[in-house]
Homo-oligomer: A and B are copies of this chain.
Amino acid sequence: MTAFTFSLEAADGRARAGSLVLPHGAVATPAFMPVGTQATVRALSPFDLRSVGAQMVLANTYHLHVRPGEEVVRRLGGLHDFMAWRGPLLTDSGGFQVFSLAGRRTVEDGGVEFQSHVDGGRRRLTPERATEIQWALGADVAMAFDHVVPGGADLSTAADALARTTHWLDRCRERHRALAADEPGRQTLWPIVQGAGHAALRARAVDEVLERGPWTGIAIGGLAVGEPKPVMYEILEATEPSLPSSIPRYLMGVGFPEDLLESIALGVDLFDCVAPTRIGRNGTAYTPDGPLNIRNAAHRVDARPIDESCDCETCRTYTRGYLRHLFIAEELLGLRLLSLHNVRFLVRLVAEARRAVVAGSFDDWRRRWLSQYNARGDT
């Protein structure tokens, strides 16, 4: 199998079942990528990730550049060896992080100057630097450096950022081509479609990205960043028909179970989100009947697992009563066990979605699933 190829195995409406071949393995899509911000998916080990069936992991270029620095990662064998995750990896470009996390920043066409959240030092990211850093990190997939604006950005702000993003894409591509010239099978670069909540801008973004192709994958960025959910789905619905069917579509930063299913229905193949581990650390666990707050007194002597249909270590081993105790007593094990379950839950969810696509029953299955999930409030 040649790296960076994507094959579509089935489609059901807009929903797709595919297979993406990357240097470190194949990924059955739709797929959910857990987020390993600092080269570790919070509270989970690579063995944990494998045990819950995670296929591909995301790490954050901005965070790793700031700490420990890409040079440390490179000297320790690259990101795969560094974090001992030998499966497919994707790094974001740092664009989203710089625009959403970094303190003071100055954007000009050349790049972005920002203040590190770790040591307060001034640093500069350019399309070339972001590409070089990602090359040093060595993930299977690198992302183009983009100018991300808030979900509610007005037309002129969003158009300005889009123009910059397209210009930066040329520079990323050029730098990446030069770096990859000697090792073409090591890493691919994916562009990001921006344009905030403006359908016309999104259409322009797709055109500008595709003119610069071919690409081995395409990302939709700048969604799930504060805009109302219907806006996200409208944009997805309007954008999808103009995307080539021959490459995977990656919806960045999404999401919750219901978002995954709605987005798969709109033709998305790849997702990442910190939610399963973040809400897990807060004591919230996904179940087929909706999220469950494990701290709730109702679970005090409950001998059932979180989710009787789940096959993860947490559900096979521990009662709700014990998990509640771990959270009330502020024990570290609880953070890991709920993170583990939540990642497993999303991995199983998209795997089930895939089977439904292959079986041609996706829409029915999705409606049934969502109806059960939404039937009651949080307990």
Contacts and interface: CB of A to CB of B under 8 A. Distances in A.
Interface in A48-79: 63, 67-68, 72, 75-77
Given A82-B322, A322-B84, A336-B45, A72 B329 contact: no
A43 interface: yes
Interface string A272-310: 000000000000000000000000000011010000000
Contacts of A333: 40, 42-45
Counting every copy of the chain, the complex holds 2
Interface of A: 38-40, 42-47, 63, 67-68, 72, 75-77, 82-84, 300-301, 303, 313, 317-319, 321-322, 324-326, 328-329, 331-333, 335-337
Nearest to A118: B329
A318 B84 contact: yes
B68 A328 contact: yes
A322 to B, nearest CB: 5
Contact of A301 (B76, B300, B303, B321): B76
B325 A84 contact: no
A331 B40 contact: yes
A76 B321 contact: yes
A105 B303 CA distance: 35
Contacts of A75: 301, 321
